[in-house]
A = this chain, B = another copy of it.
């Protein structure tokens, strides 16, 4: 049973809440790094779906360019509204571990994530990263890589299928080429798959829309 999560990437929380209205998905992901200005995080309480909060820093491939202190401050402030919070594996270890403890103390689940927008390592290296995430205290381990070839996509599927972790794994291959991992991941035990609000609002190429993903789920995961 995999969850379909729809990322919200509007530039204001108001618009993110509007985008989420009426979406029949299992989870929405508020991408705080897309927000301009200083968001009023209390607005997160207007979201009706279970909530994942992510604030991906520019050094990971996201949009947040502020300090780690500011970034972790936003995540902390969102804790009372969140069901899941994403923490980057590559964040400074001490700060990261401290945040992970706080997230857990708040009864919120920790997604530890690793993105590489340049390349895909072999599956044994991907599995090593997933294990590192598990050791760091993840409730859910997430990795995403840019593929150059179909073989790269299969390396990611291989890691998804055979990581042997005790926690749920999300292993994604990015771009049009990797799009199939969003569909196949759930069949290989993937825990969450991401779908776009609409074709216009895809947060990543290769993403399917929520309607498409629900149709796929109906046929493939029934």
Q: Which residue numbers of A lie inside 8 Å of B, CB to CB? A: 149-151, 153-154, 157-158, 161-162, 180, 183-184, 187-189, 208, 212, 215-216, 219-220
What is the count of identical protomers in the complex?
2
Docked Cα-Cα span, A82 to B187, in Å, equals 36
The residue in chain B whose Cβ has the minimal distance to the Cβ of A123 is: B154
- Interface residue from B154, B162, B184 paired with A161 (Cβ < 8 Å): B154
- Do most interface residues of chain A lie in helix, strand or loop, or is the interface mixed? helix
The residue in chain B whose Cβ has the minimal distance to the Cβ of A209 is: B219
Do B188 and A154 touch (CB < 8 A)?
A: yes
The residue in chain B whose Cβ has the minimal distance to the Cβ of A219 is: B212
Residues of B within 8 A of A161 (CB): 149-151, 153-154
Q: List 11 interface pairs A-B (beta carbons < 8 Å), by A numbering.
A: A149-B161, A154-B157, A154-B158, A180-B184, A180-B188, A183-B183, A183-B184, A208-B219, A212-B219, A216-B216, A216-B220
